[in-house]
Amino acid sequence: PKREYLLLDYRGANNCVAVITLNRPKALNALSDPLMQELNCTIAEAEAQPNVAAIVITGSEKAFAAGADIKQMQTRNFVQVYKDNFLSGWDRVSSSPRVVIAAVNGYALGGGCELAMMADIILAGEKAKFGQPEINLGTIPGAGGTQRLVRAIGKSRAMQLCLTGEMINAKQACDWGLVSAVYPPDQLVDEAVKLGEKIASKSKVALQICKEAINKSYDLSLTEGLRVEKQLFYSTFATNDRKEGMTAFVEKREPRFTDS
């Protein structure tokens, strides 16, 4: 399919990492409805490739994404956003069965920061800036900024970011646990691909089950979460890869996972 607002290519050994590059430079990758539709279709396309274990989402060195498209939202009223279910397609990234890595260079603001937080892992370039500036527009975050950010950095810091609209830099984001590592801007995407490749060497079934278990920790009490974890752990004993992994260890060799 023809893509207008983003690029898709495959990298790493056996093309195991899909790299999606948001590419709407004139608007700093503002996330318009057509862009989000294209993103969702492209993620589905990447997920359908049997070799793909990880998906990297990135932008440009200036902007990962400067938020939802303000010009598009400007003239809408309540009934329109409500009836049209404006943000209904926005959570696609968070439900991907593959591992999603956000590689954030430049601005990740508003919906851009929220999109990054839907990924499983965020890596940042040294010049990255994160923020939820919706308050400056008389509105509030609408795609996880008041929910995922609290879980990532805690209530007080999330309150401060959302109530002031101020931005934090990559170092701060790393110190606060929003991102897991910071790299020079020109090395960021390569590092994300390397991380994706490392993850891709594991069993895809085990990766998917592991993601599911960790994501459950968002929603469940400790007791319930531990119960789900144990059930999911048991379920790995129904896979060939679990048997292969343990057999390879005992035989002192590398495992050959078959994603089965």
Q: How far apart are CA 75 and CA 72, in angstroms?
A: 7
| Interacting span for ligand HXC (CB under 6 A) from 68-76, 155-163, 168-176, 237-245 | 68-76
Task: Determine the interface stretch with ligand HXC among 44-52, 133-141, 190-198, 220-228 (rule: CB under 6 A).
Answer: 133-141
Closest CB to ligand HXC among residues 70, 228: 70
**For 164-204, what is the HEC assignment?**
HCCCEEHHHHHHCCCCCEEECHHHHHHHHHHHHHHHHCCCH
Looking at 71, 83, 252, 253, which residue binds ligand HXC (CB under 6 A)?
71
Please choose, out of 137-145, 169-177, 223-231, 252-260, the segment that lies near ligand HXC by the rule CB under 6 A: 137-145
- The residue number with the shortest CB distance to ligand HXC is 110
The residues that are catalytic are 68, 111, 114, 134
- Measured from the CB of residue 199, what is the shortest distance to ligand HXC in angstroms? 27
Determine the Cα–Cα distance for residues 229 and 211; give it in Å rounded to an integer.
Answer: 11
Binding status of residue 69 toward ligand HXC by CB under 6 A: yes
> Does the footprint of ligand HXC cover residue 135 (CB under 6 A)?
no
Residues at the contact surface with ligand HXC, assessed by CB under 6 A: 27-28, 30, 66-71, 87, 90, 107, 109-111, 114, 133-134, 137, 141-143
